[in-house]
Amino acid sequence: MKQSQLFMPTLREVPSDADIKSHQMLLRAGFIRQNAAGIYSFLPLGKKVLQKVEAIVREEMNNAGSQEMMMPALQLADLWEESGRWQSYGPELMRLKDRHDRDFALGATHEEVITSIIRDEIKSYKKLPLNVYQIQTKFRDEKRPRFGLLRGREFIMKDAYSFHHTQESLDHTYETMKSAYSAIFSRLGLNFRSVLADSGSIGGKDNHEFMVLSEIGEDWIAYSSESDFAANIEMAPVHDTYTMPEGEELSFEPVDTGDARTIAEVAAKLECSEDTIIKSLLFIADGVPVLVLVRGDHEVNEIKLKNVLGADDLALASEQETLKVMGTAPGTIGPVNISSEIRVIADHAVKYVKNGICGANEESTHLKNVNMGRDASVERYEDIRFIKEGDPSPDGKGIIQFAKGIEVGHVFKLGKVYSEPMKAEFLDENGKNQTMIMGCYGIGVSRTLAAVAEENNDEKGLIWPLALAPFDVHVIAVNSKNTEQAEAADALYSQLKEAGYDCLYDDRPERAGVKFADADLIGVPLRVMAGKKAGEGIVELKVRKTGESYELPISEVLQAVK
Ligand code: ATP
Ligand code: MG
Ligand code: MG
Ligand code: MG
């Protein structure tokens, strides 16, 4: 591809609305453009990388015995009524009506559609197990679309669904899918972990997320330094969220609770009822656990967690950090929509209070699926044992460390959550009617692309691993107006193309500085530059990642690129 023909609108300035590296770089390098909040176009370079991610996903899914198909994005509401999710899914589901006034949803996920297809077509155990997948656009009206492709409202997902006649068969496929996921994320060069997870709105149990360890991750995971143990600290909400009247101001007032540790003691210190404390919210502000009290008089206070729980090493989070967690820029607090902000705190609170960081009690301390109210009660607050970084791992191997993660994949054992209400049934060996057992397996394809970009860049631009790079080699005529340089670059371009390399050729009549800056920005792994010594048959080869470069005769380029 000649760069003079390529649609690659680069930006010199960092876009003001992009606050993480991958988002900034993908915009600046002309890979993507935003059309609306959380809705993006992939420009030619972005589309090429996306196709490479898809190809790797496709190859590993096919290898693992899953069959590709394609389902509609536009889904009849009737199916969602059958599963019960038309009511339960909430505002993230994009809903619309056709001209006959029938309700539809834009697919946020496809359990309903696939279950309806399978129940109509599969009637016997002899046709099971079955594993199918698609790579397709999903729609979720996220409350906070952000970080570019990482949290979009329209995004590309690979979703697979498996159907089984026995639990053992599901267990087997689940392990096969986990291995396929590990293969995929390894090929993408990501630093990832598979972690125990909570099931969220999809239902079912027994599930793992694939997390890319990253500073900008939105999830917290606790993992062992020495074993495979790792768990998400995410939880379904357990506290009632507190709704403050709209328009009312939010104020923070640090409270000294002395050395009070139990609810009763804290309540006594603060001269409020224990009930008020129970409505308190515990959350993490930039890694620092903070307890916020929501009082009946609409005041919100933060107090030192260490005062409540005796964890001396936990510092008081600053008001700024607190505001950051609440999604409000420091210094701009004013009349905000309090009810939604409080809900954000509650989400974080619950994540912290439940699994991952605290266990139910000494005997059954565990890092997953501690369900407040079920496994632990708020009345027995003092029984909650907080697990801190440095504590022994629950499996006895190694110590616990915390890290932030980007959820790039998720595998679930759904069981009969969908097949039962939707009546996906088959006849078993004895001619008896049985309900199918299901699994589902998702990968955020566009999110994964962004995660790779996030982990592979420097101040100059993107640094693609070869497996995903939009081109294999970038040939540059340093000065296209110089005949010797142009001819050498032309020849190199033809040779490389002929040898099967996907080659980008910067043939533009631009200054060398502009060409080099663009090359750094786009991040093709290898660059061959025909410059001043082109007349002598010498060109320069440069590795984008390490910056190392050396001169070599044109005749040796093909060998060197290998
Ligand atoms: P999250 O916790 O980040 O909201 P999720 O748990 O809701 O994700 P799943 O329902 O498990 O997502 O969907 C499967 C995969 O789709 C996720 O693991 C993630 O990689 C991707 N994904 C989910 N939501 C988005 C989004 N808004 N933008 C981009 N990718 C997404
Ligand atoms: Mg989600
Ligand atoms: Mg999730
Ligand atoms: Mg998930």
Please state the atom number of ligand 1 nearest to the C-alpha of residue 448. 20
Angle at 32 between CA 30 and CA 35, to 5 degrees: 125
Sequence-distant (6+) residues with CB within 8 A of 200 are 234, 236
Q: Kindly state if the Cβ of 289 falls inside 6 Å of ligand 1.
A: no
**Cβ within 8 Å of residue 4, ≥6 positions away:** 507, 508
Note the pLDDT tens digit of each residue in 233-289. Answer: 542 222 223 333 454 443 333 345 555 545 566 567 667 665 555 444 443 333 333
- Please report which ligand is nearest the Cα atom of 445: 1
* Pair 115, 418: CB distance under 8 Å: yes
Residues 446-497: pLDDT tens digits?
A: 999 999 999 999 999 999 999 999 999 999 999 999 999 999 999 999 999 9
Span from the CA of 407 to the centroid of ligand 3 (angstroms)? 6
Q: Tell me, using a 6 A CB cutoff, whether residue 410 lines ligand 1.
A: yes
Question: How far apart are the CA of 140 and the centre of ligand 2, in A?
Answer: 8
Between the CA of 273 and the centroid of ligand 1 the distance, in Å, is 40
Residue 275: the pLDDT is: 53
Q: How far apart are CA 277 and CA 269, in angstroms?
A: 11
The ipTM assigned to this model is: 0.99
Distance CA 273, CA 43 (A): 58
Of 421 and 347, the one with more pLDDT: 421
The response to whether residue 110 sits with its C-beta less than 6 Å from ligand 1 reads no
Non-local (6+) Cβ contacts of 186 within 8 A are: none
Give the relative orientation of helices 44-63 and 167-187 as an angle to the nearest 10 degrees: 140
Residue 427 has φ and ψ, to the nearest 5°, of -95, 130
Nearest Cα residue to 21 out of 285, 220, 216, 217: 216
The partner residues of 476 in beta bridges, in order of sequence, read 506, 529
Give the residue carrying structure tokens 């991958």: 22
* Percent share of the chain, pLDDT over 90: 61
Task: Kindly report the protein residue whose alpha carbon is nearest to atom 25 of ligand 1.
Answer: 151
Which letter does DSSP use for residue 124 in this model?
Answer: B
What is the average pLDDT score of the chain?
A: 78
Partners of 427 in beta bridges? 124, 433
**Is pLDDT above 70 for 445?**
yes
Q: Which ligand is nearest to the CA of 447?
A: 1
State the average pLDDT over residues 530-546.
97
Q: What is the pLDDT of residues 365-400, one digit of tens each?
A: 222 233 333 333 322 222 233 345 677 776 789 987
Ligand 3 center to residue 351 CA distance, Å?
12
Which residues, in sequence order, are CB contacts of 482 under 8 Å at separation 6+?
A: 534
SS3 category, 312: coil
Q: What's the gap in Å between 151 CA and the centre of ligand 1?
A: 8
* pLDDT value, residue 348: 38
Which residue's alpha carbon is at the smallest distance from atom 2 of ligand 1?
Answer: 407
Protein residue with least CA distance to atom 14, ligand 1:
442
Over residues 496-531, the pLDDT tens digits come to 999 999 999 999 999 999 999 999 999 999 999 999
pLDDT band at 219 (very low <50, low <70, confident <90, very high): confident
Residue 417, number of CB atoms within 10 A of its CB:
22
Nearest CA owner, ligand 1 atom 29:
151
Average pLDDT value for residue range 69-86: 96
* Amino acid, single-letter form, for residue 152: G
Q: Mark the residues whose beta carbon lies below 5 A from ion ligand 3.
A: 407
Does residue 138's CB lie within 6 angstroms of at least one atom of ligand 1?
no
Q: Which two tokens stand for residue 142?
A: 């996220």
Q: In this structure, what token pair is assigned to residue 335?
A: 């009349």
| Cα angle: 304, vertex 308, 312; to 5 degrees | 65
pLDDT of residue 188 exceeding 50, the answer is yes
What residue's CA is closest to ligand 1, atom 7?
200
Q: Strand runs (DSSP E) across 360-472, as ranges? A: 385-386, 400-415, 425-427, 433-435, 437-444, 457-458, 461-462
Would the CB of 542 count as within 6 Å of ligand 1? no
How far is the centre of ligand 1, averaged over its atoms, from the C-alpha of 157 (Å)? 8
Do 339 and 246 meet the contact criterion of CB atoms below 8 Å apart? yes
Say if residues 471 and 524 touch (Cβ distance below 8 Å). Answer: yes
Query: At a CB cut-off of 8 Å and minimum separation 6, what does 338 contact?
Result: 243, 244, 245, 246, 247, 248, 250
331, with CB counted inside 10 A (0-12, 13-18, 19+), is exposed
Burial class (CB in 10 A: 0-12, 13-18, 19+), 459: exposed
Regarding the beta carbon of 157 and ligand 1, being less than 6 Å apart is answered yes
Q: Which residues contact 233 (CB under 8 A, 6 or more apart)?
A: 219, 220, 221, 222, 351, 352, 354, 355, 356, 357, 367
Atom of ligand 1 nearest to the CA of 412: 11
Whether 422 contacts 227, CB under 8 Å: no
Which stretch, 201-215, 302-316, 358-372, 507-521, has highest mean pLDDT?
A: 507-521
Measured by CA distance, the residue closest to atom 18 of ligand 1 is: 409
Integer-rounded Cα Rg, in Å, for the chain is 27
The vertex-218 CA angle with 217 and 224, nearest 5°, equals: 65
